[in-house]
Chain A
Amino acid sequence: MKTFRIGGVHPHENKISAGQKIQNAPLPNQAIVLLAQHLGAPATPIVEKGTEVKVGQLIATASGFISANVHSPVSGKVAKIDTIVDGWGMKTPAVFIDVEGDEWMENIDRSSDIKPVCKLEPADIVKKIGEAGIVGLGGACFPTHVKLSPPPGKKAEVLIINAVECEPYLTCDHQLMMEHGEEIMIGIGIIMKAIGVNKTIVGIENNKPDAIAHMKALASKVMGVEVTPLKLKYPQGGEKQLIDACIGRQVPSGALPIEVGAVVQNVATVYAIYEAVQKNKPLIERVVTVTGKAVQTPGNFRVRFGTPLSTLLDMAGGIPENTGKIIAGGPMMGRAMSNINMPANKRISGLLMLPSEESIRQEPQNCIRCAKCIGACPMGLEPYLLAKQAELGLWDEMEQHHIMDCIECGCCLFTCPSRRPLLDYVRMGKNKVGGIIRARNMKK
């Protein structure tokens, strides 16, 4: 069975919420819609206090090349445009909408009919995806229309669908495939048309045999789509790792996937593209896994953006006693939140509640040079060395040792028997070295 060639680890899967049907979360009384739900510049609001909005109405436009539109996920009246403190303690701008009813924009097709035929031209598809404010729902939230517009002179050869869901605990993509496989297949066809390729590989890890079987059955009816089961290994969902696993090509250091002819899209993004292109429905909701070992009813919930996270936590039975950490995302790359006053948004794919005994890191010991971090690093780096260099402030040496290749997957810290905070140091060094490189490029 295929997998990526360098490094990787095997964390406990803990897919507790697997097989739980997607439930719709109730509408909030007030929706707080973040303007920075994507990588890049925050969107510019085009509504003001008192504006009446409908579900799916554009309320903020992309401000810059790498940015994305934001649409109203609810109907009602704009109460104010203000800042809120997000889950990591940072101020961020948001549109507050007092919810009245659930009135949708007229052009959105809300029926559950499946529309298989797309007659749009490639350029129009990409334009429509951009207008719908779609971003990569796998975690990075990179604007999708930018990713689907290859730089001049580069040609995509193959589309790779990331249905790996290698993060432990998370099951939202898995469940989405089980319930909306047909729509995803149509979405794949739309993307293939948009970027002009005739081959697609859907990569699914073999801990989801039902999804593999389901998607294989659907793919057999579509030309050029192939489902590839992948051997269970983290971080298979990393873009470069997935390309290596599926087509055996390694994206060179610092290059984009298009360099080896690949375009990668997350499976949830594909579903969003189907809805945007075929149903005129912009990105206003997503599926979020709410889970944890002590959580009463872990599940997968479809939630409108702007809904308070506490609503989701309540749907899963509330925050268990003894919860030490609440993580936005999975345990390997998710971010621990300092508060839960944040609303649901495009970035949050899961809420994981860890008991306090799993929340606290253990005291680090001396590095015993066991080389397990080297064996685990999927980028073939030397985490022990980079961490030491960061500790000593040897930025030039860090750059020579390819610190910028690090994908921050956390395998090094996960595997270290001495519990050294390897990734913390590497991340610090990466920020520093990244700044140095930018400053140097600016001077040129």
Chain B
Amino acid sequence: MNNLIVSPAPHAHSGDTVRRNMLNVIIALVPAYLVSLFYFGLGAFIVSATAIVACVVFEFLIQRFLLKQNNSIGDFSAILTGLLLGFNLPSNLPIWIVVIGALVAIGVGKMSFGGLGNNLFNPALVGRVFLLISFPAPMTTWPRPIAWNSSYLDAETAATPLSLIKENGAEALPAMWEMFIGNMGGSLGEVSAIALLIGGIFLICTRTITWHIPVSILTTVAAFTGILYACDVINVTPLFHLCAGGMMLGAIFMATDYVTSPMSASGQIIYGIGIGIITVVIRVFGAYPEGMSFAILIMNAVTPLLNTYLRPKRFGENKK
């Protein structure tokens, strides 16, 4: 009996791991990915697969040769970054641009801060916004969704509903139902609101994320656009704004990134409200048709401040 192990309490663990949480998010993205394969076909597969492989390879190379540390591929966070980056790109984007995006996402967005847990900004969005600014034309040319699609670079193009209302073009907006299931132009993973919502419910049920961020973003957007609609500033309904562009993908999957979102429930709600307001302001009054990525990145920058000033409610804080 001289080989007893001694360690401080607790001696039990929930069994939760970083990998499990990342895997849950990847699983939650599957429905949206299936819709995307249905409408954008080969292109959706090529772009997302390239993004995933490039992110994993870049993370491995940087850790091996630059940082000289053990690789953390096994935590699946690079896979998730790659998948989310892919979801934020048009499915007819050339491979070399996708690879540059992955390099910026992992190299600049994540590893330069010290790897998982230390980055200030959402890596996938850093990659996406870098590409949007550097390659505006290919990044804003979206393929037309066609059922059982198999085209890639030669795909027929279509405008997104948000750019349609921005340019007041002659082309008719897609029907609300079409937008809800994902039959519209857009980045490959953002089109299907219903599939993304299913993923969001899965994440909340498995306690991977809490409801605070998605609900506060979506309610803020609904309320704000509702007011603008009532005042005749815009002529599309709040429901349109909820289903259009990257709203669902951003609210459920991008803004809820653990590392870059606030820690306390009150902080998360303020963060969500901030994202909602900034997004609507950019969409309605800004030069860009879509503002979700910018809004999330701006609020990422505010996160440390929210963590400092909005603390969780302590036990016994207000005597009852």
Contacts and interface: CB of A to CB of B under 8 A. Distances in A.
Nearest to A408: B9
Given A336-B7, A374-B263, A11 B14 contact: yes
Interface residues of B, number: 39
Contact of B13 (A249, A255, A336, A414): A414
Contact of A419 (B5, B13, B118, B313): B13
Given A252-B319, A366-B117, A334 B21 contact: no
Interface in B293-315: 311-315
A371 B75 contact: no
A6 B10 contact: no
A281 to B, nearest CB: 32
B110 to A, nearest CB: 11
A423 B9 contact: yes
A367 interface: yes
A415 B15 CA distance: 8
A202 B166 CA distance: 65
A250 interface: yes
Given A331-B10, A380-B315, A423-B9, A417 B4 contact: no
B258 interface: yes
Of the listed residues B16, B21, B115, B259, the one surrounded by the most CB atoms of chain A closer than 10 A to its CB is: B16
A384 B263 contact: yes
A356 interface: yes
B134 interface: no
B315 A369 contact: no
A340 to B, nearest CB: 7
Contacts of B5: 324-325, 336, 356, 359-360
B317 interface: yes
Contacts of A356: 5
B12 A11 contact: yes
Contact of A249 (B11, B313, B320): B320
B223 interface: no
Contacts of B6: 88, 325, 336-338
Interface in B1-50: 1, 4-14, 16-18, 20-21
A443 interface: no
B236 interface: no
Nearest to B20: A417
State the majority secondary structure of interface residues on A.
loop
A99 to B, nearest CB: 24
Contacts of A11: 12, 14
B24 to A, nearest CB: 11
Nearest to B303: A369
B112 interface: no
Nearest to B212: A371
A168 B12 contact: yes
Contact of A340 (B1, B9, B313): B1
A414 B8 contact: no
B316 A250 contact: yes
Interface string A307-337: 0000000000001000111110101111111
Nearest to A338: B6
B263 A423 contact: no
A365 B75 CA distance: 9
B12 A369 contact: no
Interface string A399-415: 00010010010100111
A6 B14 contact: no
A259 to B, nearest CB: 9
B315 A6 contact: yes
Given A240-B316, A253-B316, A331 B12 contact: yes
Interface in A80-118: 88
A375 interface: yes
B210 interface: yes
B10 A414 contact: yes
Interface string A255-267: 1000000000000
Contacts of B315: 6, 240, 244, 250, 253, 378-380, 405
Contacts of A209: none
Of the listed residues B1, B6, B116, the one surrounded by the most CB atoms of chain A closer than 10 A to its CB is: B6
B157 to A, nearest CB: 38
Interface string A356-397: 101111100111111110110111111011000000000000
B206 interface: no
Nearest to B258: A370
Contact of B11 (A88, A331, A339, A379): A331
A438 interface: no
Contact of A366 (B17, B115, B314, B317): B115
B96 to A, nearest CB: 31
Of the listed residues B9, B116, B311, B319, the one surrounded by the most CB atoms of chain A closer than 10 A to its CB is: B9
Given A319-B1, A360-B5, A413-B10, 16 more contacts: A244-B315, A250-B319, A253-B315, A253-B317, A325-B5, A325-B6, A325-B11, A331-B10, A336-B5, A336-B11, A338-B6, A340-B1, A362-B13, A365-B72, A374-B263, A380-B317
Interface of A: 6, 9, 11-12, 88, 168, 240, 244, 248-253, 255, 319, 323-327, 329, 331-340, 352, 354, 356, 358-362, 365-372, 374-375, 377-382, 384-385, 402, 405, 408, 410, 413-419, 423-424, 427
